[in-house]
Each structure stands twice: as C-alpha cells, then as structure tokens.
Structure 1
Amino acid sequence: MTITPMTQAFIRGAEECEATRRGIRPHRLPKRVRDVFADQQLQAMEVQPSGVRVVVRTSARQIQLVTHPHRIAYPGVTRPRGAVDLVVDGELLATDRLTGGDAIEIDLATGASELVPGSPHVSRFENLPVGDKTVELWLPHNESVELIELRSDAPVAPVAQRGPIWLHHGSSISHGSNATSPARVWPAVAAREAGVDLRNLGFGGSALVDPFMARVIRDAPADVISVKLGINVVNHDAMRLRAFVPAVHGFLDTIRDGHPDTPLLLVSPIFCGLHEDAPGPCMIDPASIGTGQAQFVVAGDGDADTSQGRLTLTIIRAALADIVEKRDDPALHYLDGTALYGAQDAVDLPLPDALHPDTASHELIGQRFATHAFARMGLSGLGVG
C-alpha cells in the first residue's frame, strides 16, 4: 500500500488545517476567529468538519483513511457515532462508522465532564470502480478528527479546484444534526445535486447574526452564497425584533463589502412546530434524558407577548422577506424555509427531537434547495442546477 501523509493540499471545504502531533486537524473558521471569539459552543462546532472532505485523483481500488476522532458524549442520550462517506465521481458508494478515538463525556444533570481516551480509527474502502477517478472522503459532521494518513493500492494526487464555490452559513440543521452520515447532510446533498463545490459554515447553535461570521464570509472565495438565519436567534431568545432587523442588514452589508455582486440567498427557517408561534429559549426536556431520544421543549413562557418584540419563526420569516424587499440589491434573493420543509412535511417526516430533521428530511431539503436556490432563484447562470 502507498502511504500518503495528510496535508492541506488534499482537503476541500476547510478554512485551514492545524498541525498536530498525529497529523492535521481541519478547521472551518480561521484562527483569528477561534482566538478572539472563544465561545465554547462555537469552538466545539467549528472543529467538526461538516462539509469537509479529502479529495484525490487516483486509480486505486482500495483506499484507507487513518484518523483519530474526538467527540462529545452525553450519558443517557443516544447519539450515533460519526462516519466517513466514500463518494466516487459524485456518487455516494459507502459509509464507514467511526470507532475509538477520544470522548469527553458530559453529565447533563451536573455538567461534570470526563475525558475517555481511545485509539485511532481506520476507514477501509475496497472494490472501488476501475480506472482513474475522483475520490472524496467526506469527514464526520458530528465529531472532530485528526487526519493521520491515507493508504491506497495506487498513487493519489490532489485535485485542483473546479466548479462554482457555494458558501453556505446556517445553524445545526445546516451543520447536519440528526443526519446519519456527512454526505447525507442537506447542504452536501444539494451540492452533489447541483454540481457545486461546498464550503459549509453551518454551526450548531451558532447562527446568531454574528459580525465576525459576516467578515469570514466577506473574505472567503465564493461564486454563490446562502445565509440561513433565524432558528438560533429564536431558540436562544437572543434578540428582539428591533435588534434583529438592523443586525441582518449589517450582516448583509459586510458580506457585500467583499462580494458586491455575488448571488446571495437569504433563507428563513424551515418549519418547526416548537417555535412557529412560541418565543424561546428552548432546552432539552429533562424527562427525555435516558430515554434514548432527547426531546427539545420551550423553556420560557411559550405564550409570552410578542408585541414587545420577542421573536418567533413566523415573525422572523416576515422580517427577512421585508429586509430583502427593501434592499436595492438585484443579486439578493429570499427563500422561505418552509418551501424546503413545511407543515405537511412535519406530519409526513416529523422532527425526531422536535427541532432537527432526520436523514430522509435532510435528503428532501437538499433536493428542494438545489431546485429552488439554483434553478428558481436566478442562480443557474453559474452553470449549476
């Protein structure tokens, strides 16, 4: 087997790679952001490489990726392990579920944490198609990994950037919560459907209209940009309407400083019965701990008066649509998130934890996004959709 050490030349969809004693660790946010905005939730989410993949050109029939996973575990709450997906010439062929690695176990009742060390993991894929091909190994969306080496029965080479770059920012749903593997996260589904090169800036619990995130988007290469805002603002109870509207305007203004004419899509939240008409905050229902399926509930007063500016998803959607309508920006578009997953979808494919879609719903959202965003929102001129 040919052994190839991991370098950033083989990585797609990451901002940068940190050198570790084992190899490299992909990051989705630049070091300057990680150093200054040291929120623990954001730090934990950005290092989970949702949308990041190892990409090579090779004639190999066997390929192995050696990683050292790192994950957060909650005793009493069942969470599927991360996975590495094999995609060859755009087709998802196989999934390898991670084992081993290090775990930080957090007691939801007390907040106490404990490090449980483990061993590296080898993702083995055999019987790859004959001939020269592009192989993508999509890294786990719900665990961080150190990349150690690639083993193959033929040489591998980096692949030059090709195709339009789609940069997407969103919440845990964009990050991939409840999807069973990384290539099944809805932005990954949409990217393969449309033939674009994904950079996923979806961060669980962290789509909060942060100015630094707008600057990251401003400074990043992109041929098309989408920003999905609202659900985290509501379930954190982070803003009132008076603060939210100018914050979104400022977020868009900053993006436009670096991308004045780039097609930009503002997307409102998908349907979520928990917060359609009830303000946040929300939390995990303590009664669901230990049942194997965590459930989210509204922690505050669900009947609180929204006339004082408290936000619900219904209010958020109206505000975002109005923002787009009032801006003099022909390259700015609005997409109602309920066109991706609506009230009837919640009946047919209910959210398992009342907040996040399952794998089938991720597939549905991804396919619909490819249709609505790239074909119906005036973005097909980029050669996508």
Structure 2
Amino acid sequence: MIDEDGGATITTEIVPGLLRGALDLERGDLGVRPHRLPAWARARADRQLVMAQSQPSGVRLVFRTAATRIEVDARRTTLAFAGVPPRPDGRYDLLVDGDLVDQQTSSGGTSLVTDLSTGVTENREGPLGTVRFADLPSRDKLVEVWLPHQEMTELVALRTDAPVETIPTGTRRVWLHHGSSISQGSIAASPTTTWPALAAARGGVDLVNLGFSGSAMLDSFVARTMRDQPADVVSVKIGINLTNADVMRLRAFTPAVHGFLDAVRDGHPTTPLLVITPVLCPIHEDTPGPGAADFGDGTMRFRATGDPAEVAAGRLTLRTIREELTRIVTERAADDPHLHLLDGLTLYGAGDAAEHPLPDRLHPDAATHRLMGERFAAHAFGPGGPFAAA
C-alpha cells in the first residue's frame, strides 16, 4: 500500500504482545477488544463491571519503530444520558521514549444514550474512527499509544510507515492495582494523567490498572484474577463503591476484606501489598449510601441518600471503612511483614478540598489526579516506601 506521500504503509496485526495493561483480547466484528478481566471473570460480573473493565484504562500499544507516521483505526463505544452534555471525546496519548509528544481525540463509533426518565437506552451508530500521529523522529524509538481510559474500544488496525518490533516483557517491574472509578480515571484529562498512570511513570513501573468504575466491590473473582496475575508490587484501594452502592454492612465488610486479601496472598505470598483507605469524599464521610445522581442543573453531580443515624447499626461510611481497614491491616501485618497501609487522606484530604473541590462531589479533577499521583509515587516508590526498588 502506498500513502499520499509516496511512502510504504505497513499494517501490523494487533496481537497480545503489542499490548500492555490488558489481561485478555476478544475478537470483535472488526478487530480486537482489550479487556482488563479474563473471560472467566467477566462471566461472573454484572453489566456495570463488564462495561467498566472493557474501558481500557492503562492499556497501551507498546513497540519499537523508526516510523514517522502512526495510524490506529478503532471503533469506540461511549455512554451518555439524554439531555445531559456528553463527556469530552476520549484521548489517545502518544509517548516516545517515555515523553508525551502528541494527543489525538477519538471519534465516531457507537453511543449508548440512556433516558433517565424511562430507563430506555438508544444505540446511535457512527463511523469508524482513525487517530493519526505524524512528523515523528525517524530514529529507532520506544512508542506507547495509550487508549482512551473511559471508552470501550475495539482496535481495528495499526498502520505505520516503518516496521514495528514488539518489546519483551520483564524489562520493568509490574504494578498491579485495583480500585474504583477514581483509579480508573474519571474526570482525568487523558489516559496518561490518571493518578495511577502518573504514579507508575514516576515509579518506573509497568501499570496493570484494575480500577473499575462503580465496581470496586471486593468481588472474589477480581481477587482471584489478581492472585493469578504476575506482579512485583500490588495495591488495593477499598471503600468508596462499598459506601455509595450501599452493598454491605460492617458485619459483612470485615470478612470480605480478609477474604479478598487472603485470595491475593495465595498468589503473591511475599509480594509488597499496599492497602489504601478512601480519599476524602465529603458527601460520604459520615453519611451512608446509596449515592444518587443529581442532574438538577443539567450537570451530573452526586449526593448521599443514607441516614447517618444508621451507622451505629452497621451502615458503612468512609470514616467507618478507614477505621476498620486500619484495624484489619494492622492486625494482619503482625504476621505479614510485606503488608502495608496508606491512609487515603494523605493523597486527598480535608486540607485539599478548598483548593481542589470534587467537581461532581465524587471524582477528582485533572489537577487532583496529578496531586494524588505525585503523592502516591513519593510514598510508595520513594526511598523507604513499600514499593521502593531494591
């Protein structure tokens, strides 16, 4: 194939060896869909989690090439609500030798638009999208194309004007992380600026991000997935979804945490394991869930609908979860020297709320993601930290 400039164009099949951060590739109608959970785990998940894990937060194409032009064809699927402004188009971030050199927005694809008054979802089909990166240096270089972190993506084609070479795994330590939409990157500016991606870059590690929007529920199949996934360091951020979904009481929470950590430890008995308590979320600090979406002014915000008087009966708030996680990890650490605790309030706490308020009362904005990423990297990967290199 000859492009407009008269140069040869090479189409490379998208295979597992080209991807980082995906645990499975599913063959779609046009290409391949990266998943962040294996097929057996997806079969046990509800619709919310299936959608969240198919949004490829932290997933990137990684290869070496001397190409000056790179094109990726993809079919995206976006979620929207009737009468509410849609989210901005997703971004593809291009890194060359570790530096962000270009960003392109996604387009086309399928939009799933839900009418909140009726519960009916309409499929609106659009064309295939193509992102193009041009005028790259012609030298041999390490290229990473990070996929949009909040759009389900089917990769259709990868085209370059020079051959690509896959990168062997094992050249860097692997950080396996599980959390909620805050870890997936809600309201982050782009896929490389979610707080885990920023922390991973500072820590010099390969990220496997199992942050699932609305779905950090201590699910046993997620723990078993983490058990089976090779990793050099592991972290689990627990709390916000258990509160805002009001899925359990304190009596069930405590054994569920133990069971989750036990399963992870079955596969990683001496791997550094960091448990992170919830970051500040004022609506749920002392008020239980469930949380509810509030579109009163045409903008999506959240509110807590539970009764604080029921906390004494076991309803979960973020304050309750922090206290119980601290107790659990402190007691377990007596027999597990590689188990560590991080207070989420050190990543984002009361002292940060005035300067960095949560735009929708639940999710941190782009500046706060950067703040959290820097703080986590300093704590976990810095000298003396639980993830510091030997």
Flag whether TM exceeds 0.5 (same fold). yes
CA distance in 2, matches of 1:89, 1:270: 32
Tell me the residue number matched to 2:120: 112
Tell me the residue number matched to 2:350: 343
Deviating more after overlay: 149-158 vs 199-208: 149-158
- Contact 2:44–2:221 at 8 Å: present in 1 too? no
Q: 1:63 to 1:204 in 2, by over 3 A?
A: same
Amino acid at match of 1:248: V
Residues 1-385 of structure 1 mapped to structure 2, 5 A cutoff: 1-37=9-45, 39-78=46-85, 79-161=87-169, 162-288=171-297, 291=298, 293-301=299-307, 303-327=308-332, 328-375=335-382, 378-382=385-389
CA distance in 2, matches of 1:335, 1:377: 14
CA drift at 1:180? 2.1
CA distance in 2, matches of 1:104, 1:376: 46
Amino acid at match of 1:268: T
Deviating more after overlay: 325-334 vs 126-135: 126-135
CA distance in 2, matches of 1:68, 1:216: 27
Amino acid at match of 2:304: V
- Contact 2:13–2:158 at 8 Å: present in 1 too? yes
CA distance in 2, matches of 1:356, 1:248: 23
CA distance in 2, matches of 1:142, 1:66: 17
Amino acid at match of 2:73: V
Amino acid at match of 1:245: T
Partner of 1:36, secondary structure, is coil
CA drift at 1:378? 3.4
- Contact 2:90–2:148 at 8 Å: present in 1 too? yes
- Contact 1:279–1:304 at 8 Å: present in 2 too? no
Number of residue pairs matched by the alignment: 378
CA distance in 1, matches of 2:190, 2:116: 25
Please, which runs of 5 or more residues in structure 2 have no aligned partner? Answer: 1-8
- Contact 2:340–2:386 at 8 Å: present in 1 too? no
CA drift at 1:343? 1.1
- Contact 1:80–1:180 at 8 Å: present in 2 too? no
Deviations 1:180-209 (Å, cap 9, x if unpaired)? 211111111111111100000000010011
Partner of 2:271, secondary structure, is coil
CA distance in 1, matches of 2:386, 2:135: 38
Deviations 1:357-380 (Å, cap 9, x if unpaired)? 111111111111111112266335
Deviations 1:189-232 (Å, cap 9, x if unpaired)? 11111110000000001001111111010010000000000000
CA distance in 1, matches of 2:240, 2:387: 28
CA distance in 2, matches of 1:223, 1:209: 21
What root-mean-square deviation, in Å, do the aligned CA atoms of Structure 1 and Structure 2 show?
1.3
Please, which runs of 5 or more residues in structure 1 have no aligned partner? Answer: none
Partner of 1:255, secondary structure, is helix
CA distance in 2, matches of 1:229, 1:336: 11
CA distance in 1, matches of 2:117, 2:98: 43
CA distance in 2, matches of 1:24, 1:51: 17
CA distance in 2, matches of 1:346, 1:76: 29
- Contact 1:234–1:281 at 8 Å: present in 2 too? yes
CA distance in 1, matches of 2:166, 2:191: 21
Partner of 1:254, secondary structure, is helix
CA distance in 2, matches of 1:304, 1:377: 42
CA drift at 1:381? 4.5
- Contact 1:105–1:115 at 8 Å: present in 2 too? yes
- Contact 2:227–2:263 at 8 Å: present in 1 too? yes
